[in-house]
Structure 1
């Protein structure tokens, strides 16, 4: 089944009681049982909910996986993965990474004895060198947030498999439309469903997808025991959102590519980070492991002047200044003070994240209007 057909049909079926083509919102906390322990697969909505079940099946299908497990946020999904480990376990992590992921690892789980090693994964050989007898997982984010670096999923996953280490890929920036890490050997795929999967900036959710039955069992136990589950209304909104994922992603990619090329030619722009550009060091790898290059890009103005960068962001009108990404509307973010503020300045600068970096989530508006907005803002 092709992706666009899966986005509309996979994991969902007409409601058996009414024939409703849209999955109903099962707004209930509990379910009536015929006798103690005798039920129709549903006991309590923290454990299972039919609307959530449909979404989990749909997300698993989109990632070519067997099991989907949804959570109340992307961070709750990340938290569930980290709960698989014990004090002394070592985890290797991409060094250019979302600030919230860095924060939960360093400021919460490091306090419980997990050991994190943040490395540059642009060369997979660095992963080989970093693995020790205590390494239990490698956490990959590609394209990275916010510098759009590309990591070779197949190579890293192969290294993990040879070492008996779990490989987890944060696939939020790409979405299942552009990239399927399970097909390249990853054990778990993580999504901030809030972003491209939901696609309309109206819900917060996370998800994990795997084809490993034992991992799925452990993660489903954590989902139920820890209780960070999404409600049925949010699940319904995401089910609706993914029906247009393929169409939205096509326009996101087209617009971002056009804007990246326009920014590259602008006399006031110093650097553009977008894997679709031939000048991007990860361009060939991105072309190999992604269907297209995505809707995210970052750039820096010449002069590296903080005040000028802030003033340009403040002048934007169609690009709304805000956190998050992946919605139909275009967003502008200042990573150093917003999405990555929890990472110490010296750590940000080590990976090349300057205080003057501007990140764009390019929406699906008419690209000519978006360019006009950037033109008047940059000057």
Structure 2
């Protein structure tokens, strides 16, 4: 809907406001008078809302005259054309920094809350709210007819998938759908790498939770429940991308996921090769999250003491740092420290299933210590 209004001349902020007004109107009207063509109804109402707002704004007299001279288009039927991916590109506008473009797109198109976006970027919620507000002001009044760059769009899709992977299945599936389109459209190796990464992670989803919705760690998952069709597709997509010999961060992450998927049991995991891929990922990104995950992999490949030594170089306030340290301390034979760190990690967890899992780990070790 925002994309349609944008093509008709509405700037981003005005289009977003009009769409929200149309959705509110739908909530009011549809329970007793549902339209035959919901999408066409919403677009028509949103356009009228936009025109009403334009006429009421005395600072936009020129647009008001244009609106009077050109009557609104007739109601159009719902179209099968998917505007969502196009809107991702439009939100990654050249006038925005990549970080601001990602934040704006996640909020306006991905449907994530400001808090969720802030957690993904490891910044305070207030900081992210200011960033999104500045981005809206920057594109206010700009015709969104200059698409942004592919790297920014890939970053947005990656964050949308991560948010869906930890909770909302539809959000993860939507990210996969759009990334499929993007990989076919661009033939870019990193788009293919991101698609492979999503497929390989999504293949493990059925085994990630128990019937009571509690989390199952990777080492304890029933690998017979993994979706082998998605794994095979992900590996094929990844191999084709790696063959182009232009390695990027998403290909490196997908290679790590493929090594996990290739192991019939947790004990057979090739941790040495996983550490090598994490070295590549750290070289490409310098990401503290990648360094954290590398430390855990080092602990598996070379022993928990080596993992703790790698972890010591990282900021202890990094999300999931206490959980990683707890796991490595437990493996190193220090259940007292591990129990304390699991409890710390539980208090800092960003979602309920993760918090409950970490709380159970702390309780398990405390029970063993009392026994």
With normalisation by structure 1, the TM-score equals 0.28
Question: Which of the pair has more CA radius of gyration?
Answer: 2
Question: Hey, which of these two has a bigger chunk of helix by percent?
Answer: 2
Greater RCO between the two (CA within 8 Å, min separation 6)? 1
With normalisation by structure 2, the TM-score equals 0.28
Question: Hey, which of these two has a bigger chunk of strand by percent?
Answer: 1
